[in-house]
Amino acid sequence: MSYQNLDVQPLAGALGAELFGVDLSQPLANSVFAAIHQAFHDHLVIFFRDQTLTSAQHRDFAQRFGKLTAHPFVDGLDGFPEIIEIVKEPTEKRNWGGPWHADVTFQKEPSNGSVLYAKEVPANGGDTLFANMYLAYETLSDGMRGTLDGLEAVHVSDVPDTYYGNHKSMREKDGGAEGLGSTAHPVVRTHPETGRKGLFVNRGYTRHFKGMTQEESAPLLNYLFEHATRPEFTCRFHWQPDSIAIWDNRVVLHHPVDDDFSALRGETGYRRIMHRATLAGEKPV
């Protein structure tokens, strides 16, 4: 497939590709961005290396994918409310982000995606995993797909300090409790641009099926959580300074790997700083 002089190198069979041959700090011709956007739809998460961006350039590039929005619980950078700084200090044991999840699915209009920019990363460790939710749906049996089509599931936010309480350098948003949410979304979501169906549940926020208790829902939900993150549905990205990842939150789960074993042993671990611009979303259907 031609991508208008971009070098697109798939990262895994399921999803993910690295793109080479473009400087994102410069204004992009419409034809170049169209090729990037096509690669985004084809591979669901795309990566760039060696991109030196100011916060303004980060914002401007991210806006090419759609309107940006602020995080409900984490304050943005000064002058750039749409960009949050994600920080793990050397004494902290976990990367910010929690288990496998799609972002803010407890909102009525969950994010369409994110543009994540690596500012400071360790030489090894701190990678991010991604999973293809099209494949998670398409590889289910006909009977299971028939069971899930038409079902809704309830997604619930954690308490606000979950998002920054264990990360001393994260910026708490004043009045963040106002962002607490609970909403029901289709278990099977149709992508508004591709028309393909994908599984739309995640361990981070999905609590139960609408009209059922958590106990009744747990066996099937736990199966779906495990099924969606089978190794063959995933890719893994190793961060370097000035790397960028852009993923489609509508059909991709992600998980930052908690592998700072030095910090877990009480020693000095690694520092990891990322800047994330978040794309506004729409109501899932």
State pLDDT tens for residues 134-153: 999 999 999 999 999 999 99
Q: Which of 155, 191, 203, 254 is catalytic?
A: 254
The verdict on whether 60 is a catalytic residue reads no
User: What is the per-residue pLDDT for 179?
Assistant: 57
Q: Could you say which of 101, 189, 191, 208 is catalytic?
A: 101
H helices within 149-249, ranges in order? 214-228
What's residue 141's pLDDT? 98
Q: How far apart are CA 189 and CA 167, in angstroms?
A: 33
Q: Tell me if residue 58 is catalytic.
A: no
pLDDT the model gives residue 178:
59
273 near 106, Cβ under 8 Å?
Answer: no
Supply the mean pLDDT for the chain.
94
Q: Where are the domains of the chain?
A: 7-279
Q: What's the burial of 206, exposed, middle or buried (CB within 10 Å: 0-12/13-18/19+)?
A: buried
Block residue for tokens 């994600």: 86
Q: What is the pTM of this model?
A: 0.95
The CATH architecture one would assign to domain 7-279 is 4-Layer Sandwich (3.60)
Q: Residue 254 catalytic?
A: yes
Q: Which residue is catalytic, options 43, 58, 103, 272? A: 103
What is the secondary structure of 80-145 as a DSSP string? EEEEEEEEE-TT--S-TT-SSB-TTTTSSS---EEEEEEEE--SSS--EEEEEHHHHHHTS-HHHH
Catalytic residue among 58, 255, 275, 276: 276
**pLDDT tens by residue, 150-183:** 999 999 997 666 666 778 899 888 755 555 779 9
Question: Minimal CA–CA distance to 197: which of 149, 134, 147, 143?
Answer: 134
Mean per-residue pLDDT, 261-274: 97
Q: What is the pLDDT of residues 231-260, one digit of tens each?
A: 999 999 999 999 999 999 999 999 999 999
Q: Is 103 annotated as catalytic?
A: yes
